[in-house]
Structure 1
Amino acid sequence: MALFRQVMELGGVTAAAAALNISQPAVSKMLQQAEDRLGFRLFLRQRKRLVPTSEALSLFPEVVGALAGIELVQRLSRDLREGRGGLLSLAVTPTLAHGLAPRLVRQFRQAHPDVSLSLRAHPLQEVIRLVIDHRVELGLVMGPVGDSSVMVRDLAERELGCVLPPGHHLAGRAALTAQDLAAETLICVAPHQPVRVLLQHAFEQAGLPLAVAIEVSQSSIACALAEEGAGIAVLDGFALMSARARGAEVRPFRPRVAVQARLLQSRRRPLSRQAEGFVDLAMREL
């Protein structure tokens, strides 16, 4: 196919032979063999020039497309072999999609600029299911996993904290306790999420009931409500990363309560080079 393309584009055997760095008789022989296999003429000789037949003109666009496809496969195979290019698919829980994941994605892209990433935010159980079903290669979650079908790597640990409304009377405290928050308007995520479970336990340890005035599905919503003055948002440290970056009033919760970020992969599927690079980065940086 490459020979046919060169003859078509350059208009003669001599030029095609020079471009392919082979002899002119070899080009003529290869063209004759191609015509014998196809069962029709590709070129007619007129005044020492090769003129393509109507059949050759019909074939030429398809040959150009086929060669482009072959070149693409070769380039992709080379990139995959050398750990360049390709696509890495990630599923993350919403809190980490706003805090930890952007940092890791930025660092990974700096090290692997040729790799494309697909990042999808889902609840914890859906992230686990996507990893098990091999619809994504890696999952980034927070809290306990409890499924033996996935391999779990512990990453960073961050403590719970509070986002205060601007000018709140508790802003003078260095840290906040359950006693401080008991009479306040509290904003928190749903009861099944790790932060809410940990906060409930902390209030029980303090002998106080936990009364959440505003329940939200995502930590980013809780942050926005607190910054608008709707109440105090109690969140994990990963969600607090973006709040601090915006200059919000943030105070740690005491006694210290920590939540763990974890990286998931399927036990039944080996990691691609791209995924291995992401895992190495996450384990090294966190």
Structure 2
Amino acid sequence: MNLRQMEVFHAIMVTGSVTAAARLLNVTQPAVSTVLKHCETQLKMKLFVRVAGRLQPTAEAHAIFPDIAAIFGRLEAVGRLTQDLSGGRLGTLSIAAAFPIANGYLAEAVATFMSARPNLRATLQSLTSPQVLDRVINREVELGVAHEPVVSPAVETEVLVTTTIACVMRKDHPLATQEEVEVTDLSPYPIITYLPQVSFRPYVDRAMSAANVAPTINVQISIAITGIMLARYGAGVALVEPALVESMSIPDIVIRPLAPRIEAKTLMIRLKDAPQSKAMKDFVTHLKAQVRKNHSH
């Protein structure tokens, strides 16, 4: 039996008549009868007999029906699956992001996106910005979110948000009483900031030298959360990207903007010319909306 013959046989078995089968398959009644006749000729056996004007399945028809019903059950499942995929409800989101992003607003965006799509699966890796770029280039993830600079001909980038370096300190710190902190105000205090190899550090150094400040950097860190916790326990003022404090509400800590502002862009990174899944397209839209909402507060 070919698939068309199976389809006609299945429709007659399910509906109980040629007329109803034709309606179900959206074809004419003679078309159904012709396919059935060819099928019976080919199989050299009867599948239906007429009893008192009604079509009755033969013992042979009953014997093959369970296997054919199983095939159409699978076809329906495939249909549902493709609908879910095209609706972005299924599939896998694979994302890599810089530590503060992955553990802050990106985690929130993934969680809220998935709560409306119970069949979606995700991987979210939290790494350094250079590692994020690496994962995208090696096709280990579909989307990377990292801080600039991102330099590679293999990828395309889009600015997601402009981040700022701020002062994070204990709420009993002398500078905590100020609405904003001038870079020159930092001179007398111990500073916690990024290691020279971290992408944010050059921004901090440039701001310091522009203000003619030679800071006492007593602790250097690789990720913002370490600086934030050091500041919380009194090691000094942390000059870090403060998104994690905002999303985690760490106690005893305040954030004060720096003047002049130290700004850096956060970029979405995708492989050039790589097709994007429907789920990822929808997620990027959701992420942008989430970031806009968080930054408008």
TM-score (norm 1): 0.72
Are the structure 2 counterparts of residues 264 and 42 from structure 1 closer, same or farther at C-alpha, using a change threshold of 3 Å?
A: farther
Which residue of structure 2 aligns with residue 49 of structure 1?
A: 56
In the alignment, the residues of structure 2 paired with residue 65 and residue 186 of structure 1 have an alpha-carbon distance, to the nearest angstrom, of 66
1:140 counterpart (131, 142, 145): 145
Secondary structure, counterpart of 1:9 in structure 2 = helix
Which residue of structure 1 aligns with residue 3 of structure 2?
A: none
Task: Give CA-to-partner distance per residue, 1:199-238, whole Å, 9 cap, x none.
Answer: 24444553525424363x4323433454455543321254
Letter of the 2:72 partner, please give it.
Answer: V
The 5-angstrom pairing of residues 160-171 of structure 1 reads 160-171=165-176
1:163, distance to aligned residue in structure 2 (A): 1.6
In the alignment, the residues of structure 1 paired with residue 37 and residue 64 of structure 2 have an alpha-carbon distance, to the nearest angstrom, of 13
Are the structure 2 counterparts of residues 23 and 172 from structure 1 closer, same or farther at C-alpha, using a change threshold of 3 Å?
A: closer
Q: Assess if the C-alpha contact under 8 Å between 2:224 and 2:242 holds in 1.
A: no
Q: Assess if the C-alpha contact under 8 Å between 1:143 and 1:261 holds in 2.
A: yes
Letter of the 1:213 partner, please give it.
Answer: V
Q: Number of residue pairs matched?
A: 279
Are the structure 2 counterparts of residues 171 and 64 from structure 1 closer, same or farther at C-alpha, using a change threshold of 3 Å?
A: same
1:189, distance to aligned residue in structure 2 (A): 4.2
Q: Which runs of 5+ in 2 are unaligned?
A: 1-5
In the alignment, the residues of structure 2 paired with residue 259 and residue 92 of structure 1 have an alpha-carbon distance, to the nearest angstrom, of 16
Q: Which runs of 5+ in 1 are unaligned?
A: none
Letter of the 2:75 partner, please give it.
Answer: L
2:269 paired with 1:264: yes
Secondary structure, counterpart of 1:162 in structure 2 = strand
Letter of the 1:261 partner, please give it.
Answer: T
Q: Assess if the C-alpha contact under 8 Å between 1:104 and 1:282 holds in 2.
A: no
Which residue of structure 1 aligns with residue 162 of structure 2?
A: 157
The 5-angstrom pairing of residues 2-17 of structure 1 reads 2-13=7-18, 15-17=20-22
Aligned alpha-carbon RMSD (Å): 4.1
Are the structure 2 counterparts of residues 135 and 160 from structure 1 closer, same or farther at C-alpha, using a change threshold of 3 Å?
A: same
Mean alpha-carbon deviation: is it higher for 157-166 or for 127-136?
127-136
In the alignment, the residues of structure 1 paired with residue 46 and residue 203 of structure 2 have an alpha-carbon distance, to the nearest angstrom, of 76
1:260, distance to aligned residue in structure 2 (A): 1.3
Are the structure 2 counterparts of residues 75 and 40 from structure 1 closer, same or farther at C-alpha, using a change threshold of 3 Å?
A: farther
In the alignment, the residues of structure 2 paired with residue 202 and residue 107 of structure 1 have an alpha-carbon distance, to the nearest angstrom, of 37
